[in-house]
Structure 1
Amino acid sequence: MMAGCKSWRCVWYALLLLFVIVIGLLCYTPSFRCLTQENEEATVRNPADHPVLLLIWLWPFNQTFDLECCNSRFNVPSCVLTDDRDSVGKADAVLIHHRDVAWDASNLPQVPRPLQQKWIWMNFESPSNTARIPGLNNMFNISLTYRKDADISVPYGSLVPVDRRFEAFVDFVPFEKDKLVCWIVSNYRPEHRRVQYYKQLRKYVQIHVYGDLFEKRVSDEEYKDIVSSCKFYLSFENSVHKDYITEKLFNALDLGAVPIVFGPSRRNYERFVPGDAFIHVDDFPSMKALAKHLFLLNHNEALYLRYFRWRRRFRVKMSTFPEENVCQACEYIQRNRQYQVLTNLYQWFWDTSEGLDMPPSFY
């Protein structure tokens, strides 16, 4: 009976030893779970204690900028930017601008990716104007776009609160206007839905149009002068997609013109700006009805000035492309060390548009 008791104890000790070994392997081998736990702990540390090396693989649209700008311009410290491809093996993240991949995934890094390195997919074109390059699903870890549901969301512009606690409120008085409706367009294509809207609206109201195919190409300074001289500005997007609301809206707001918008739904626009800051083409059954509304506002200053009430609380902030986008990506890496992968990039970006760029029906 003593011998049986000793044998039972040996089995017990062996099982206990096996349990300790298994626990040790789970905690100290580079398993997915342990790496995730270690990385989650890193997110609560001071980012300044953990500098991030971010490699800009392709300069966005070949636009270079000061690699020291993150701290000085955007208050993102401990961010080391480089365009030296020899550092690809030690970079914490590699930022890749989709448009510059140029249809071919072979332009991406071809060396083995370090285990903890993140690849950032950056794109600020609409799905209609973005080439669907094969082989991108499961390749990237982080999305950087204008979309609000991106990992790193950088819209073309935004409204930021104005602190008026220490100054008397004064209603905004628009600049003196000598034009009713203006439009500056560089990509004029007759088949575009926005061009169809323009052609219908001009039947009822004079529209001053500028651009390569019209009066002349305008400089940045001329652009500001033109928009600020108009009561209304056609902030027409080139395609209709979720959250694709570009500088066309925010420039008009900033320069004192009321935007007439064509793009995603009014509800989508109201996620970015107050509903009484713009006019949406969908608010009217026809372009004739829209023109009638513009004439009403033109002759009723009180109604017109209601479109500027948002200025009591906000001011326009324009995003600085591409340096601000890159610096925000670096900050994201500082604070999010856990593993993730974009498994459904095609479905998420290309297959969630609000509608097609088809000619509308007019009344």
Structure 2
Amino acid sequence: MDIFYITDTQVTLNQQPAPDIATAAGFLWLDATHDEVSAAPEVWRDQIEALSGTQVYDLHLKDITNLSHPSYFDATQDYEMVVFRKLTLSDAVPAPKSEPKRKIPAALNKLTTSPISFLLMQNVLVTVRPQHSRTVDLARHRLLDYKQKPDSNTHGARLPTSPEELMLRLLNAMVDQYLELRHPLTQQLDRWQHALLDPRRPFNNWMALLDSRLELRKLDNLCEEQRDAIQELRDHIVDNHDGNSRAKDLLLVRTNDVMEHISRVLNHARRLEASLESAVQIHFAAMAHRTSEIMRTLTVITALFMPLTLITGIFGMNFEVMPLLKNSAGFWITMAGMGILVVLLLLYFRSKQYLEERSRSRFDS
């Protein structure tokens, strides 16, 4: 577990001895991984109690080590707990062997998630995260590389002033990772739409399409859980924050910003799901239209040959005396009559616009 001591001007890592949080001017950030906590949960809890003076409850300790826990918020008299599911590198979390192998596009493979737990205590922020976390690693590097700017420079980055602010910064960066997926997901949807509506190549990759819809539905549910957790955190800040009004307003602004980003991801996921559903419906409508065109062509051909079949059936009767039967020009007269009949039928079908749409589609192609 790494111990960050953050003040208004500097950040130190693993300072020995650890600062006394009761008299320190800043706050502590205690950063641990799931593997560290799962290996010795009681030892980790004792370390947290020694540094913060607060003991983590047994049920919350189980929640922290539960890698399938959804996003949620809980508050006690001693601390607040936030569990937030973040994006995880797909190669960092292998799929369980019991799950069947699915053909999911590369863009949707990036939707693998894992939980990160936050414990907000008095002047202490505790995080328990996966081993590979781009957001937390980047935040650590930024804090350690921080250099105080001159007072005249008002545009430089500043250090977080409270555990709540640091947590909201981390949450905001995690949600922004979902926003980065909008472009590849939109491109993947465009490829699905082209594949579904391509008349030259029938679409048969239905299992991959179904898996993609399931992944988008998972993203939808994930954003709902995230938004509910952050909403409960916001309500808790409004009801119980004891700081000055400016600090409270800044926390509410950051909380609202996180919720707004989650809503953007949620709306985008729903738009993608609706667009994909529309593409599937258009695909089946196009298939029904092509089937209708084929049936129309077969119907016209059948209508053209029905009178010809009638004529050949009449001349195939076994009568000794029949018109044109013994006439040397009878065959050609019959063929000419059949040809004229076909032409008349075609003109009739065109007047009824049975062939107009078919001919127009050939002209457009």
Question: Per the shorter chain, which TM-score range?
Answer: under 0.3
- Larger relative helix fraction: 2
**TM-score, normalization: structure 1?**
0.27
Q: Looking at CA atoms only, which structure, 1 or 2, has the larger radius of gyration?
A: 2
- TM-score, normalised by the number of residues in structure 2: 0.27
Higher relative contact order (CA 8 A, sep 6+): 1
